[in-house]
Structure 1
Amino acid sequence: MTEPAAIDLPAFYANPDRNVAVLNYNARFITSIFDLVNSDELAAFINLFLAEQRAYVPDDADPATTFNRVDAPTYVATLKAILTNQPDAFDQYPAAEILASIEDLYSYYRSYLRVATMSTQHNDVVSAEFMTIDQHFNELVIRLYRTIEEKLQGHANHVYRQTSAASSACVLLQKIAWPMPQGYESLGNIRFLTRLMLRPPMMLHTKSNKRKGRFTASKVNPLTNFTGTDKDWYCYPAMIGESLAYLYFDRDYLASGLALANLFQLADRQEIEGHKPDLILLFGSPSAQGDTDPENGHYYYDAANQLYVGQVPYNDQTTYFGYMKKICLTLHNLHMIDQGKLPIHGSMVKITFANGVKKTVVFFGDSGAGKSESIEALQTVADEKIASIETIFDDMGSFTLQPGGQGIYAQGTETGAFVRLDDLSSEVAFNNMDRGIYMNPEQKNARVIIPANTWPRVVAHHEIDMWVYANNYDDAVGIHQFTDQEAAKATFIAGKRKALGTTDEVGMSTTFFANPFGPVQEEAATRPIIDAVFDQLFKDHVYVGEIYTHLGNDKSQAKLNESAKELLTELMTK
């Protein structure tokens, strides 16, 4: 079925191909149910709804007796007649049939990601009120629905459910001046998201549910192809680790843009105004001419302005949130390598034992190697021995060599976690349900983005007690400490794993340093940093080893638990 054309009015945008709707409160704010039922915006959406409904109504159905075959003006006129108690409101169409159609219309609207926007020049004036304004409109929409519903059914509802009737989220937008280099002027009018209000749990659906390929370098700055405007683009200003990133995205990618709020710290106005970013991303912009693989993302290093500029094209494949997350991390990791820091693909946790001892452990490996599963298993076998486990980073961090050979510290990048639903324990899943943003929860590789820690804790300088490679391909059980530095380095650099289908890879694979997001692209620049890090770790007698997870073989929970028990014993004896 061909999707109907998008609605693009000053106060309302709806794209059925992306299931995204945008309400612009600045262009029009409706204050009564009668204003709403008389609005051009509602009439346009009803027309869109009816166009989709016709695909499911038999062609020979009589439009005179089938309510979903009427035109939009007739549909709206019927709603008005019901609202005003006109005696002939149900003469042509049975009340039950009208009610069924209204229920379908209401469900169809709520199937969209609905984002309300407000623009302001001064955060302190409107930020305290934008949620109240949005809540008022949500109450108005649900009041209109219930009024019509109860008139049609002839009695009041017995049960009321306070759904997010009008919007899934509301964002405050603001233009903020920053020192744009020559050639970046097209970004000048695009507004920053300065405040966000989400209504979790948010269930989002995208056309793609898997990432494929790798981001590659471009010889041309993506800004040369950029045609976005302040009407259809927004910017999420993020702190990725300590990197300042301006993440621009097309409004059809609002699902990915909003999900950033659960993953990266939103930068304050003071951090934006007058500050050139370290990273810029254009998400939903055409590839530069001559780029290989125009269906995937690219990055360009603007040496003159010391800026990494990333680009991901507009297509169905890139609707998967993994593209947004991984291009951001690729840009950040490239920036880290430039600064002589080592990007780490893994998870880091601070474990507090019941006896008061604290240990910091980094689990290392590519997607599906068993990093998060190892942490879950450790919690399972610990009984009362572990008081708490704090996640510092869930996917990507960095190691920094301190000056003068004074050791190494680690930092994280994300304040949240983007994890497979299958990997979550029921406790973690239920405890975070009311904060989560769920991506395609009914499909394979279903994901949730949940907050995990505060930005100050994530970017603090954390010393490392143990660094283990998540080995999901060998059949051994337990853990293994490397006594030979070169053997350890070879294992980490080889980046072997059995792919589990979370990307487009299947079977045994190798990835340089288990990290296709930066180190693969800049291997020559990364190798000397790896050498220096291993030199320092072995000099400091930090435990460097591997844990056998079994996830690429028999996926035995019992064997993984045995490995976790050995890890627990090691942590508690030293």
Structure 2
Amino acid sequence: MQTPKPIDLAAFYANPDRSVAVLNYNARFITSIFDLVNSQELASFVRLFLDEQRDKVPADADPAGTFNLVSPETYLDTVKAILTDQPNATRQFPASEVLASIEDLYSYYRTYLRVATMTVRQNDVVSSEFMTIDQHFNDLVIRLYRTIEEKLQGHANHVYRQISAGSSACVLLEQVKWPEPAGYEKLKNIRFISRLMLRPPMMLHTKSNKRKGLFTATKVNPLDNFQGTEDDWFCYPAKIGESLAYIYFHRDYLASGIALANLFQLADSQEIAGQKPDLVLLFGTPGVASDDQPENGHYFYDAANGIYVGQVPYNDQTTYFGYMKKMCLTLHNLHMIAEKKLPIHGSMVKITFANGKTKTVVFFGDSGAGKSESIEALQNVADEEIVNIETIFDDMGSFTLADGKLYAQGTETGAFVRLDDLSSEVAFNNMDRGVYMNPEQKNARVIIPANTWSRIVAHHEIDMWVYANNYDDAIGIHRFTDQESAKATFVAGKRKALGTTDEVGMSTTFFANPFGPVQEQAATKPVIDAVFDQLFHDDVYVGEIYTHLGNDKSQDKLNESARELLQVLLKM
């Protein structure tokens, strides 16, 4: 079966290949169920639905007597006849068959990620009412469905379920003026997201569920090949750590684009007006023929304007959210290295003990090393000795040398974690806030808010830094007494890959961080040296925790390592 072509109307866009739909309330806002059933938008979607249904109908079915084989016009005429109580509304087709088809249409529509948009202009009251307007449309869609359903079944429903019938999310867009350098004029008319409303739990499905390869440098500014317009592109302005990023994405990547709201702080319009960003990402635009790994993504440093520009191409592989997240972090980390800060691939928590003490611990390592699992194990074995564990950063942070001291800062306000890594308590407690990615598949992920931006970018002192060692068969934790041995372990970035990326088996990654340090090793090495000098000068605990995950994934052994970690922290 060939995938039908997208619907591309002024008020409605739907791409069945990506299961993405965009409703433009500025172009048309439907106010009644009769407006809806008479709309060009619904007629186009019914046509799309019937095109897909025809491949499911038996080949010997009677076209005149099968409701899913009728024309869109006949389909909607039947719906209108039912709504207006015409006596012969279901004369040609059994009511049960029409009802089953309406149920399928309704379900098919809800398989799409449906994002409603409104563009606000200065002094426009819609800025404070966009959620009310969107809720009105949701109520209208569910009312139309229930009216048809109850008329066909001949009685009112006994149970009502209030679901996201019309849209999955609603975004408020606006034009923001910022000083575009020469060559960036193509971005001028693309609207920024200024407010965003999600209806969690959101279950998003993408064609890809794993990231491959590395992002590499290109000698050509990706703006040279950019062909996007204000009709098919949006911008999510993000505060990534202390970097200001303008993340431009094609509307077919709305699943990733709106999921950013649970991961990076959305910058306020007043914060970005007139501000040149540190980072620009173009997600869904082609690279150049000379680039290596053209299917992956590239970055370019625009030295003349001091902007890191990233580019990720439009293809099925890059629909996985990890591409958008990791390219954002790569650009941010490159910016941090240029600022003489050290990007840290890991998790940082502040632990409050029952005895009143607080300790900050940074877990370090590449994907699958056991950073998140170590924190979970620590919680499991703590009993009543730990009052609270606050997440400062979950995946990426940076170490900053300032005033003769070493501090840690976070990057993301949320966490993008494997569902398998979460305890059932954490998973269920955050369900009403979560954005779930391919929850039924291997490497299923959830994005949940974790902390406030002001909290994560504050300067946090470091009490302990441990490497997540998932390859040795030892149990417990080990403190390095020699600075060079410690540095060698951290720089080697050794791990046994668990298949969360395209790697399997033993691997090494420079400084366990393929998102910036690998690309700029020469610039990163002197920052690493300065950080380790300060750590050992201050007698900070630098060691490794044996997670055992690359061997037999024994929870008992990881818990034993966590118990030893707990005892060391209590004695510090």
TM range (shorter): over 0.9
Give the stretch that moved more between structures: 95-104 or 50-59. 50-59
Quote the Cα distance in structure 2 between the aligned partners of 1:11 and 1:84. Answer: 26
Q: Which residue of 2 aligns with 1:566?
A: 564
Q: Which residue of 1 aligns with 2:515?
A: 517
Mapping of 1:356-395 within 5 angstroms?
Answer: 356-395=356-395
Q: Which residue of 1 aligns with 2:545?
A: 547
Q: Which residue of 2 aligns with 1:300?
A: 300
Q: Which residue of 1 aligns with 2:319?
A: 319
Quote the Cα distance in structure 1 between the aligned partners of 2:122 and 2:246. Answer: 20
1:231 equivalenced with 2:231 (yes/no) = yes
What SS does the corresponding residue of 1:172 show, helix, strand or coil?
strand
Q: Which residue of 2 aligns with 1:493?
A: 491
Aligned partner letter, 1:483: T
The Cα of 1:301 is off from its aligned counterpart by 0.2
Measured against aligned partners, the alpha-carbon deviations of 1:520-569 in whole angstroms (never above 9, x if no partner) come to 00000000000000000000000000000000001011110110011000
Q: Which residue of 2 aligns with 1:143?
A: 143
CA contact (8 A) 1:398 1:410 kept: yes
Aligned partner letter, 1:70: V
What SS does the corresponding residue of 1:248 show, helix, strand or coil?
strand
What SS does the corresponding residue of 1:376 show, helix, strand or coil?
helix
Quote the Cα distance in structure 1 between the aligned partners of 2:121 and 2:537. Answer: 54
The Cα of 1:125 is off from its aligned counterpart by 2.7
The Cα of 1:109 is off from its aligned counterpart by 0.0
Quote the Cα distance in structure 2 between the aligned partners of 1:258 and 1:217. Answer: 27
Count of residue pairs the alignment pairs up: 572
Cα RMSD of the aligned pairs, angstroms, is: 0.7
Measured against aligned partners, the alpha-carbon deviations of 1:114-147 in whole angstroms (never above 9, x if no partner) come to 0000001137732220000000000000000000
Quote the Cα distance in structure 2 between the aligned partners of 1:199 and 1:391. Answer: 24
Mapping of 1:340-351 within 5 angstroms?
Answer: 340-351=340-351
Quote the Cα distance in structure 1 between the aligned partners of 2:189 and 2:13. Answer: 19
Aligned partner letter, 2:326: K
Aligned partner letter, 2:223: L
Q: Which residue of 2 aligns with 1:213?
A: 213
Quote the Cα distance in structure 1 between the aligned partners of 2:539 and 2:98. Answer: 74
Quote the Cα distance in structure 2 between the aligned partners of 1:120 and 1:263. Answer: 24
The Cα of 1:389 is off from its aligned counterpart by 0.2
1:173 equivalenced with 2:173 (yes/no) = yes
CA contact (8 A) 1:411 1:462 kept: yes
Give the stretch that moved more between structures: 119-128 or 271-280. 119-128
Q: Which residue of 2 aligns with 1:69?
A: 69
Mapping of 1:93-492 within 5 angstroms?
Answer: 93-122=93-122, 125-403=125-403, 406-492=404-490
Quote the Cα distance in structure 2 between the aligned partners of 1:123 and 1:500. Answer: 53
Quote the Cα distance in structure 2 between the aligned partners of 1:125 and 1:311. Answer: 36
Quote the Cα distance in structure 2 between the aligned partners of 1:399 and 1:78. Answer: 65
Quote the Cα distance in structure 2 between the aligned partners of 1:396 and 1:122. Answer: 37
Give the stretch that moved more between structures: 53-62 or 30-39. 53-62
Quote the Cα distance in structure 1 between the aligned partners of 2:156 and 2:225. Answer: 56
Quote the Cα distance in structure 1 between the aligned partners of 2:399 and 2:378. Answer: 24
CA contact (8 A) 1:221 1:288 kept: no
Give the stretch that moved more between structures: 433-442 or 117-126. 117-126
Segments of structure 1 that go 5 or more residues without pairing to the other structure are none
Quote the Cα distance in structure 1 between the aligned partners of 2:317 and 2:473. Answer: 35
Aligned partner letter, 2:511: F
Aligned partner letter, 1:499: A
Quote the Cα distance in structure 1 between the aligned partners of 2:49 and 2:174. Answer: 32
What SS does the corresponding residue of 1:336 show, helix, strand or coil?
helix
CA contact (8 A) 1:478 1:547 kept: yes
What SS does the corresponding residue of 2:42 show, helix, strand or coil?
helix
Quote the Cα distance in structure 2 between the aligned partners of 1:227 and 1:195. Answer: 26
What SS does the corresponding residue of 1:373 show, helix, strand or coil?
helix
The Cα of 1:217 is off from its aligned counterpart by 0.1
What SS does the corresponding residue of 2:300 show, helix, strand or coil?
strand
Q: Which residue of 2 aligns with 1:21?
A: 21
The Cα of 1:289 is off from its aligned counterpart by 3.5
Aligned partner letter, 2:284: G
Quote the Cα distance in structure 2 between the aligned partners of 1:194 and 1:59. Answer: 50
CA contact (8 A) 1:179 1:276 kept: yes
The Cα of 1:59 is off from its aligned counterpart by 2.3
Aligned partner letter, 1:247: I
Measured against aligned partners, the alpha-carbon deviations of 1:196-237 in whole angstroms (never above 9, x if no partner) come to 000000000000000000000000000000000000000000
Aligned partner letter, 2:512: A
CA contact (8 A) 1:469 1:492 kept: yes
Aligned partner letter, 2:458: A
The Cα of 1:439 is off from its aligned counterpart by 0.3
CA contact (8 A) 1:398 1:412 kept: yes
Aligned partner letter, 2:489: T
The Cα of 1:60 is off from its aligned counterpart by 2.3
The Cα of 1:421 is off from its aligned counterpart by 0.3
CA contact (8 A) 1:436 1:450 kept: yes
Measured against aligned partners, the alpha-carbon deviations of 1:434-478 in whole angstroms (never above 9, x if no partner) come to 000000000000000000000010100000000000000000000
CA contact (8 A) 1:224 1:288 kept: no
Quote the Cα distance in structure 1 between the aligned partners of 2:478 and 2:11. Answer: 61
What SS does the corresponding residue of 2:55 show, helix, strand or coil?
helix
Quote the Cα distance in structure 2 between the aligned partners of 1:353 and 1:472. Answer: 27
Give the stretch that moved more between structures: 487-496 or 122-131. 122-131
Could you list the structure 1 runs, at least 4 aligned residues long, displaced by more than 6 angstroms after superposition.
Answer: none
What SS does the corresponding residue of 1:61 show, helix, strand or coil?
coil
Segments of structure 2 that go 5 or more residues without pairing to the other structure are none
Quote the Cα distance in structure 2 between the aligned partners of 1:238 and 1:411. Answer: 16
What SS does the corresponding residue of 1:127 show, helix, strand or coil?
helix
Quote the Cα distance in structure 1 between the aligned partners of 2:373 and 2:420. Answer: 10
Quote the Cα distance in structure 2 between the aligned partners of 1:400 and 1:160. Answer: 54
Quote the Cα distance in structure 2 between the aligned partners of 1:501 and 1:490. Answer: 25
Quote the Cα distance in structure 2 between the aligned partners of 1:148 and 1:101. Answer: 11
Q: Percent identity?
A: 81
Measured against aligned partners, the alpha-carbon deviations of 1:35-74 in whole angstroms (never above 9, x if no partner) come to 0000000000000000000110122211111000001000
CA contact (8 A) 1:22 1:116 kept: yes
Quote the Cα distance in structure 1 between the aligned partners of 2:52 and 2:166. Answer: 20
CA contact (8 A) 1:330 1:518 kept: yes
Q: Which residue of 2 aligns with 1:54?
A: 54
What SS does the corresponding residue of 2:109 show, helix, strand or coil?
helix
Aligned partner letter, 1:494: A
Quote the Cα distance in structure 2 between the aligned partners of 1:77 and 1:63. Answer: 17
Quote the Cα distance in structure 2 between the aligned partners of 1:124 and 1:306. Answer: 35
Give the stretch that moved more between structures: 455-464 or 58-67. 58-67
What SS does the corresponding residue of 1:171 show, helix, strand or coil?
strand
